[in-house]
Structure 1
Amino acid sequence: MDCLYRFKKREIASDECVNELKNALHYTVPLESILNAKDESDVYLTHAELGCLYSIAMKSRDEAEEFNIELLQSVTRQCIPEYSIDISLYEMIMSGVASRLGNAGEYGKATAISMKIIQESLGARRMSILHHCLYDVLWNWMETAKKSTSVESGIPVAQELQKCVQLARLCKETFYEEFYSGKL
């Protein structure tokens, strides 16, 4: 995981970081076996391995977008709260999965994941990720509306952005509070 530190310090490029992460992961579990797993019981991944997979998929910026989405979906199978990990890791990984799927045009899947994160977070009485999820749902809806004339304008965008502002303020996330305010 030293490569993530060096990447953040801009000492190495993202492709070099991804290669180092893949090499490190290969010592414990081959990437192919994760992708070929049929369900969550086929492969057990530790927190470190899940974090490694997440970093590989999120930092890969190449023509293999399908591979990255498959990788994120394999991570998704491991992140079902009933089966495994702590809620903070679930929130981090699954919000990244939702974001990446939304960017790839999979708006329905991304929205479903964001709604599941909201449900799980509220069930655990955690609210720090809620503003992210609400914004992701709004963004997915707006992107769908751009591409389709059949989508009704049923979401009051300003009202939803105001919710994001208030939640970010409540969580003392000033960067996001300013970001959402700027969108208003």
Structure 2
Amino acid sequence: MEIKNITSMALFAVLLTGCSRTKEYDPHSYLSDSELNDVHWKIVHYAGKSPEGIGIFDVFDKRFDDHYRQQLNENRIDKYYIDKETNIHYFLISRIAPSLTEKRVATGGKMKLNNENNLIEYEEVFRTWKMVPDTLARRAGLLFDKMVKGESLDNYHTKNSGGIDYIEFPDEVVTYDKNKRKWVITGFELKK
């Protein structure tokens, strides 16, 4: 009888820990609806698909607002966390990926905003392979948690993951250029 109670309590503790972690990364735990819309608008200009041929200084040009409004519908912020000590905002955004079956791709990153709520730093830390939504939720959620905690993602890169799809970028060829705010291949810029 006593072992059964201990097992039940252990299971309850695991479930409680999982639930609190999920709530900890719920975007609404950090941002009001208005703030979330503003952050989504900022992130989608980089993590979403850009119009053909525009540069970093053109992404917020009003001429492209309709394009990015459409991107808001195709992208969603799945997880969010603000480190109160460093004021770094961590995000996980996903979008529908081209596929015969329903698949999504996720991007995990971090950014800083100034006192006027303007974006002053932005970096995409990883982009996943496209996956069915429930698999993406589990795998991208794991990657996000490790990113927030400052843990290494090396074991989840394609060359180290034992044939299990986690991180597509960065890899040996594709890296993220924080100055250009784009994924780049040596000598080329990668289109989104």
Q: Normalising to structure 2: TM-score of the pair?
A: 0.27
Task: Tell me which of the two structures has the higher relative contact order, counting C-alpha pairs closer than 8 angstroms and 6 or more residues apart.
Answer: 2
Q: Give 1 or 2: higher strand fraction.
A: 2
Q: Normalising to structure 1: TM-score of the pair?
A: 0.27
Q: Give 1 or 2: higher helix fraction.
A: 1
Structure possessing the higher radius of gyration over alpha carbons: 2
